[in-house]
Amino acid sequence: MKRKLIAAIGVAGMMVGIAACGSDSEKPGDKAGGDVKEITVWLTVDAQNNWPDLVKAADDAVVKKHPGLKIKHEYYGWPDKNAKLDAVLATDKAPDVVEMGNTEMLGYTVKGAFAEIDPSKFDQSDAWLDGLKESVTYDGKTYGVPYYAGGRVGNWRKDVAAEAGVKAPPKTYAELTAALDRIQKKKGAKFSAWYQPSPDWYAAMSFVYDAGGAIATKDGGQWKASLSSPESLKGLNEYKKILDSYMKADKTKDESDRYIVYGQGNAGMIFGAAWEGATAEDPKNDKTGKLKGNLENFVMPGPSGKNMPVFLGGSDLAVPVKSRAQDVAAEWINAFTGAQGQKGLLAKGNLPNNKTDLATLKNDPKTVVPATAAESSWFVPMAPGWGQVEKAQTLKTMLQEIGTGKKSVEDAAKAADAAIDKVINTK
């Protein structure tokens, strides 16, 4: 699906009084919603435009159990959703279910915006994809339910590879770099065999986690930055090697327009969201006229010998702590994201929220690559101050310094660790 997940976690002007759950006039059972007459469900326009039938099926299942229940839906675009959510959570008119990008969850969870849920009450919760499960987990408790996923893959031009004598996508990291070496030599110094924007921390951290490193680790209840650990440095040095060897374009640019640059014809490969290749070959972006049907996705091999762990984007569903119908809201979420709901989402071309359904996609040539890539994933530290780290663009700064040679890998990593440690444990 061709849309980018909102990555910003910072919650500007977070609502006041979230922890004060409701009013003094609440009756016992109000939270559970035993006698609830209506629930309000907030989803993004993706559901409204692409699978309204699945929304209706969830509604029908819950109403069958609760005759007379009214289910109200409101749909929002990603850019304006959180501003509206912040405003309404400051009142007593909170929705009962809200869709969140998985990287948005943490900022709200830390502030106490969402109710704790019991994962055992949700279908296939024991098989939730790792990257999505992490996004709904904080301090060992669960505050949301994974909805669906989107992963990252390698994508290259078959014609450029063939021109350099490479006939098949790489299965190992050695095969990948050998192919890129041949492509780089064939195409010359102004061509990027691998167009990899330096500040793209989603890609860079895949190298870090593949090497056994991490952005930060938790010890004794406190988070500690670990980008300068031996393992993390190994990953960052390999990322630096990729940039030096194959990235011949502006190393200060971020990845936001990568698919546009790819479509301009001066790159042989990218590593990004699964939709980026298809978007690059769209006639309005393909300036070469050669990309349609000539791009190929593949599972990124890692230097470790395993598949590269990828950042797993996606959506979650949460129940605001101020909801007075939390039990019924949870029932709706399970009807929508449970076993039947996942079948419907798969049919619409999404990656599922669990490993069991994901395995079935590996039997289809059209979905085997993103499904296989999503099996190995990583996620951001679920630390109270992570939003401040991301807002300060600490990782982007470090990676740009590494990519441009402004600082050594070691010095840039140490500086990033120092900056992260100042805020990562602060709510």
pLDDT band at 10 (very low <50, low <70, confident <90, very high): very low
Its CATH class, for the domain covering 38-151+313-378, is alpha beta
pLDDT band at 313 (very low <50, low <70, confident <90, very high): confident
Phi/psi of residue 87, each to 5°? -65, -45
Residue closest to 108 by CA, chosen among 134, 138, 64? 138
Q: What is the reported pLDDT for 338?
A: 95
Q: List, for residues 106-146, the tens digit of each pLDDT value.
A: 989 998 999 999 999 999 999 999 889 999 999 899 999 99
- Contact present, 19 and 112 (Cβ < 8 Å): yes
CA distance 364 to 69: 40
Q: What is the reported pLDDT for 15?
A: 38
- Mean pLDDT is lowest, of 12-21, 145-154, 238-247, for 12-21
Residue closest to 294 by CA, chosen among 156, 180, 164? 156
Looking at residue 272, its amino acid is G
Q: What is the dihedral of CA 211, 385, 322, 14, to 10 degrees?
A: -130
Q: What is the reported pLDDT for 264?
A: 96
The domain spans of the chain are 38-151+313-378, 152-310+392-423
Q: What is the reported pLDDT for 28?
A: 32
For the cut 90, the answer to whether the pLDDT of residue 155 exceeds it is yes
Q: List, for residues 71-115, the tens digit of each pLDDT value.
A: 999 999 988 888 999 999 999 899 999 999 988 899 899 989 999
The structure's pTM equals: 0.80
Q: What is the reported pLDDT for 131?
A: 82
> What is the average pLDDT value for the chain, to the nearest integer?
90
Q: Is 3.40.190.10 the CATH number for 152-310+392-423?
A: yes
CA distance 32 to 149: 29
Q: How many CB atoms lie within 10 A of CB 271?
A: 24
Q: List, for residues 374-403, the tens digit of each pLDDT value.
A: 888 898 998 999 988 988 999 999 999 999
CA distance 405 to 369: 34
* 38-151+313-378 against 152-310+392-423: fold identical: yes
Q: What is the reported pLDDT for 158?
A: 97
Q: Return the sign of the alpha-carbon dihedral for residues 311, 317, 321, 327.
A: negative
